[in-house]
Amino acid sequence: MSDIQSLFKQSCIIPDVITIAPSEILNIQYPSGVTVDLGKELTPTQVKDKPIVKWASKNTEYYTLAMVDPDAPSRENPKFREWHHWLIVNIYGGDLNTGEVLSDYIGSGPPKGTGLHRYVYLVFKQQEKGDFSKVPKLPSNSGDKRGKFSVAKFAQEYKLGTPVAGNFYVAKYDDYVPKLYAKLKG
């Protein structure tokens, strides 16, 4: 079992988010200079801006990228599991700029006093370019329609199979969170 597979199990991403762990690491670099490293703690301040994401992609394939928080509003009471932070489909050849953004990036915003939240990144290889026209497009200045999302159900509905790459970090409240909430009120 690879590091990614054992850490996804140890951190209960399996079964809380997906049933099968990806076999490849997803490389995620934030403009703040931090990188995501399989469960390492980062701060909401460090991850507030959209990162650069890379994986072992094939130039002729389409992919879906998702980032979810299964611990909303807390790990003990995940009544909004999963809250999706980012969702891009029809990414051609691993170039995020070619993808169709369904949910624009929102950084981590764990409520005060809710402890560490897991932020899970997954990439799925699509069988072909997909029709996602029925999925609402969500801007980065609104938290509406982001709760109670299931990346596993989304993958099943759109026949995405199991994730090919993934990574995750944990984060807890810091003084950037109120600024994020103000932005989400539009």
pLDDT tens digit at each of 186 positions of the chain: 578 999 999 999 999 999 999 999 999 999 999 999 999 999 999 999 999 999 999 999 999 999 999 999 999 999 999 999 999 999 999 999 999 999 999 999 999 999 999 999 999 999 999 999 999 999 999 888 999 999 999 999 999 989 999 999 999 999 999 999 999 876
pLDDT at 46: 98
Q: Which long-range contacts (CB under 8 A, 24 or more apart) does 152-157 make?
A: 152/17, 152/18, 152/19, 154/66, 154/87, 155/18, 155/64, 155/124
What domains does the chain contain, in order, with CATH numbers? Answer: 3-184 (3.90.280.10)
CA distance 8 to 15: 9
Question: Residue 181 CB: number of other CB atoms within 10 A?
Answer: 12
Q: Give ∠ CA 23-14-112 in degrees, rounded to 5.
A: 115
Element (H, E) at 181: helix 177-184
CA distance 169 to 143: 21
CA distance 163 to 171: 23
pLDDT at 168: 98
Residue 171 has φ and ψ, to the nearest 5°, of -150, 150
Q: pTM, whole model, 2 decimals?
A: 0.96
Length of the chain counted residue by residue = 186
pLDDT at 36: 97
Element (H, E) at 182: helix 177-184
DSSP secondary structure, 113-166, as one string: T---EEEEEEEEEESS----TTSPPB-TT--TT-TT--HHHHHHHTT--SEEEE
pLDDT at 87: 98
